[in-house]
Chains A and B, each alone.
Chain A
């Protein structure tokens, strides 16, 4: 049967076919528009997504900067060690590999167990895996002989942070150790990639924990580099496609002086105490030493738990930084400042004389404040009062003073506040004022309290760093400065110069004269150290009483307990008449200031002056 197609049927087909093909055409257009949207409009998004898919960046650890002394000698440096490193992807069975390596390298059972555990976690990504750190020369030699048979392992350099003076700079420089976060999100590398970081320190990513290492961590740590690998969908590394070398951290130029710091440590010996020395021209801290100490090398590179516990439990508190955190009564070393306060406020003149019977009686209630010398010094003016360290003179002067005014004056010498621009965790202590006493002890201020301040006792305490800063200001004739461990060009200390202390120049000359007399004259309390050097030194010694006692006999009784003995203190500067360095020394329970702390100060000054 032949069906005769009529025109109407043909037209019907044509219109319907064209309709359906138009629908197809529109669909084509929709697809094309979508492709255009993907490939042209959102191209950059998808390009990035594709790169993120395939690119796997692995961080490369940067080398930490060294810490140098003021002459450019390294105090802390990076010490290379040699480690045995394996390629897990070339090892099929870690246990049989260990069998193979055992005759070559000594491995403890813990070493082996750790390795197998890490191997199982990381073998998937073909990355390096450290088997043993710090190989001996013999092990390296044995390995090198057999290296042809051990293609899946190699020996490479890894660093440790080392100081050649491990126990001398501990408190000022501090230590480094494994960083809390084993990643650095400031870099454009996902956190999960940090486990694969190419490390150059044997103990992984490290950061400064205390001291300069902590304060200047940013300067020292440098910038990590990265290597970019191409990975496939299963995460296997295909090839390296990019390398950005790490930038080594900046070497830090400090004001510290290795020789002077060593002489401070030597002179202190195994006594507890602190020494701080400041360069009068730059304000640079040349010595900042606290004893007893600990080894930063051990702390930075792994110390046994037992050893650490022993240090923590030590009643001498080796971790305590006495130089910047120890609070000591300044004792007689405060007298020059009290004298200056009297002169400035016209309470006294250089010529006014006071009768010193050996004690001061408080008019209000007859309380006796004793001097250190039985019978006293009789007629004393200000110069003699400083030379012989007359307590009565300064008790009387303090008695005439307004405590608020005096505290304010003392604050201009840096007391009661932080003085160092870049010290780690410095203690600013406090200033004793009536307000302070009431809010802390809930007791009102008595006149007797002010009298005690006159001889640097009572509620007045200061750190050795504050004492050094104070004597620097006096040595510099009132010029304020901000002490800094790191040299000015790298220092983070904010240079808002502390205000200078207004004091007439003739008075300064007389004050320096008096302070020189303390050591160089025949009456000076510290004359015992006069002949230890061949340049002139000015200073003021002090004996800080830990127990308030009325008589010498009573002191002789408590003296049996070493920890209750007086602290010996000296602040000094030299060479006179043009001083270059100021130093403060505190020796705990050292007793007589001039004779005990004095020689330490002289040793440090001699070392700084290369004598």
Chain B
């Protein structure tokens, strides 16, 4: 008993690589805010808070998350409801919930609650997953997607849906079902384009393929981002020396397009370094998932990590012009308290699941 209390659960690899990311991110944020230190200082407070949250979360036994999975998802849905009823409208969307001076993007919680809930629902089912369970899981996923997507926040809605789908896939969804679903998706894609996507969302996809068609409108962001990254070259223009960033040609430098700042000021070398850290984190999480103590932990680590990875890839692809512009921050680097806190919370859960070993009979 005594021994158990003194043990602190943490993963040194994840801890230090995330620490490295955050420090790097703070420097980038400082540069992206035209050397206005207050933004970086505020962000560093969130980073500090985040580490505490991550360590505290790591100490909880995985079983705690399993037992509270239902409660967790219900709270997340309630929070979305509160946002819908009372949240302020910012840029035509209700995404935030205010708690005192702290505002929180309510969908962040569902991104974690959904995979944990589905992992709990599916971990003890026999392989392959039966149609009944598959349908139930899909209904939950689709409901979650619409809850977020109608804010409207299509990007996060897709991420939430992905987080559930990853768990469903990892828990042994039958291949025939996957094949059928894909076929359905392709057949119904014109319908999705015409009836589900709003005109501005269609516009974003259109400009991706031809950003020059509208250089000062929807294409501006992509064009300027590509110029920023491209003009960084191999070694970059130097810290605080990026003309695209410092002279405000680049939009949203502190949030969605902060990767372009890195590309411009630190060049290909900087990009390579950053992506190596991310890649290392992902590999470490894969290792933790494979060596986790049970199937529930594996599913949760796998689901959350892949969600994190999708988030990352979407941001990177968007910024370099491979995907249409969707509001998606760069994890651990972009400005924003709630996404940072929920990231640390997520990695706290991963650490908890990855480091708590099965109690071995002595």
A residues with CB within 8 A of B: 1, 3, 5, 8-10, 12-14, 16-18, 20-21, 24-25, 27-28, 30-32, 34-36, 38-40, 42-43, 45-47, 49-51, 53-54, 230-234, 238
Whether B279 sits at the interface, judged by CB under 8 Å, is yes
How far does the Cβ of A185 sit from chain B's closest Cβ, in whole Å? 23
Chain A residues with CB below 8 A from B263, complex form? 35, 38-39
Chain A residues with CB below 8 A from B231, complex form? 43, 46-47, 49-51
Name the contact of B247 in the complex, choosing from A18, A45, A230 (C-beta under 8 A). A230
Chain A residues with CB below 8 A from B322, complex form? 30-31, 34
Besides A21-B283, A231-B247, 5 new A-B residue pairs in contact (Cβ under 8 A), listed by A number: A12-B127, A20-B170, A30-B322, A38-B226, A238-B247
Interface size of B in residues (CB-CB distance below 8 Å): 51
Chain A residues with CB below 8 A from B295, complex form? 3, 5, 9-10, 13
A36 to B272, CA, bound (A): 10
Name the contact of B234 in the complex, choosing from A14, A24, A40, A233 (C-beta under 8 A). A40
Taking a contact as CB atoms under 8 Å apart, the answer to whether B227 and A46 are in contact is yes
Taking a contact as CB atoms under 8 Å apart, the answer to whether B243 and A50 are in contact is yes
Write the chain A residue with the least CB distance to B286.
A21
Whether B282 sits at the interface, judged by CB under 8 Å, is yes
Name the contact of B317 in the complex, choosing from A1, A14, A30 (C-beta under 8 A). A30
Chain B residues with CB below 8 A from A1, complex form? 124
A46 to B298, CA, bound (A): 44
Taking a contact as CB atoms under 8 Å apart, the answer to whether A49 and B170 are in contact is no
Write the chain A residue with the least CB distance to B231.
A50
Chain A residues with CB below 8 A from B61, complex form? none
A45 to B231, CA, bound (A): 8
Name the contact of A27 in the complex, choosing from B127, B232, B286, B317 (C-beta under 8 A). B317
How far does the Cβ of A27 sit from chain B's closest Cβ, in whole Å? 5
Whether B202 sits at the interface, judged by CB under 8 Å, is no
Taking a contact as CB atoms under 8 Å apart, the answer to whether B230 and A20 are in contact is no
Whether B261 sits at the interface, judged by CB under 8 Å, is no
Given A53-B227, A233-B247: A35 touches B320 (CB 8 Å cut-off): yes
Whether B77 sits at the interface, judged by CB under 8 Å, is no
Taking a contact as CB atoms under 8 Å apart, the answer to whether B229 and A20 are in contact is no
For window 291-350 of B, CB contacts with A under 8 Å fall at 294-296, 298-299, 302, 306, 309-310, 313, 316-317, 320-322
Write the chain A residue with the least CB distance to B314.
A27
Whether B116 sits at the interface, judged by CB under 8 Å, is no
Chain A residues with CB below 8 A from B321, complex form? 34
Taking a contact as CB atoms under 8 Å apart, the answer to whether B290 and A54 are in contact is no
A535 to B272, CA, bound (A): 93
Taking a contact as CB atoms under 8 Å apart, the answer to whether B290 and A43 are in contact is no
For window 117-136 of B, CB contacts with A under 8 Å fall at 123-124, 127
A46 to B283, CA, bound (A): 33
Whether B249 sits at the interface, judged by CB under 8 Å, is yes
Whether B219 sits at the interface, judged by CB under 8 Å, is no
Chain B residues with CB below 8 A from A36, complex form? 268
Given A13-B298, A232-B248: A35 touches B170 (CB 8 Å cut-off): no
How far does the Cβ of A190 sit from chain B's closest Cβ, in whole Å? 16
B residues with CB within 8 A of A: 123-124, 127, 166, 169-172, 224, 226-234, 243-244, 247-249, 263, 267-268, 271-272, 275, 278-279, 282-283, 286, 289-290, 294-296, 298-299, 302, 306, 309-310, 313, 316-317, 320-322
Top 5 A-B pairs, shortest CB-CB distance: A46-B230, A50-B231, A3-B124, A38-B230, A232-B247
Name the contact of B313 in the complex, choosing from A24, A45, A50 (C-beta under 8 A). A24
Taking a contact as CB atoms under 8 Å apart, the answer to whether A47 and B309 are in contact is no
Taking a contact as CB atoms under 8 Å apart, the answer to whether A20 and B248 are in contact is no
Write the chain B residue with the least CB distance to A232.
B247
Taking a contact as CB atoms under 8 Å apart, the answer to whether A39 and B268 are in contact is yes
How far does the Cβ of A521 sit from chain B's closest Cβ, in whole Å? 86
Name the contact of B320 in the complex, choosing from A10, A12, A38 (C-beta under 8 A). A38
A27 to B314, CA, bound (A): 9
Given A20-B166, A35-B320, A54-B243: A8 touches B127 (CB 8 Å cut-off): yes
How far does the Cβ of A35 sit from chain B's closest Cβ, in whole Å? 5
Taking a contact as CB atoms under 8 Å apart, the answer to whether B306 and A24 are in contact is yes
Taking a contact as CB atoms under 8 Å apart, the answer to whether B169 and A16 are in contact is yes
Write the chain A residue with the least CB distance to B169.
A16
Name the contact of B170 in the complex, choosing from A13, A34, A51, A234 (C-beta under 8 A). A13
How far does the Cβ of A26 sit from chain B's closest Cβ, in whole Å? 10
Taking a contact as CB atoms under 8 Å apart, the answer to whether A40 and B268 are in contact is yes
Taking a contact as CB atoms under 8 Å apart, the answer to whether A31 and B290 are in contact is no
Name the contact of A35 in the complex, choosing from B127, B271, B299, B309 (C-beta under 8 A). B271
A47 to B229, CA, bound (A): 9
18 contacts between A and B (CB under 8 A): A8-B127, A13-B298, A13-B299, A16-B169, A16-B170, A17-B298, A20-B169, A21-B283, A28-B279, A31-B275, A31-B316, A35-B229, A35-B271, A38-B263, A47-B230, A53-B227, A230-B243, A230-B247
Chain B residues with CB below 8 A from A234, complex form? 248
Taking a contact as CB atoms under 8 Å apart, the answer to whether B320 and A34 are in contact is yes
Chain A residues with CB below 8 A from B320, complex form? 31, 34-35, 38
Taking a contact as CB atoms under 8 Å apart, the answer to whether A31 and B234 are in contact is no
How far does the Cβ of A111 sit from chain B's closest Cβ, in whole Å? 37
Write the chain A residue with the least CB distance to B173.
A16
Taking a contact as CB atoms under 8 Å apart, the answer to whether A28 and B230 are in contact is no
A482 to B305, CA, bound (A): 89
Write the chain A residue with the least CB distance to B294.
A5
Chain A residues with CB below 8 A from B313, complex form? 24, 27-28, 31
Chain B residues with CB below 8 A from A28, complex form? 275, 278-279, 313
Given A30-B322, A35-B271: A53 touches B244 (CB 8 Å cut-off): yes
Name the contact of B127 in the complex, choosing from A9, A43, A45, A231 (C-beta under 8 A). A9
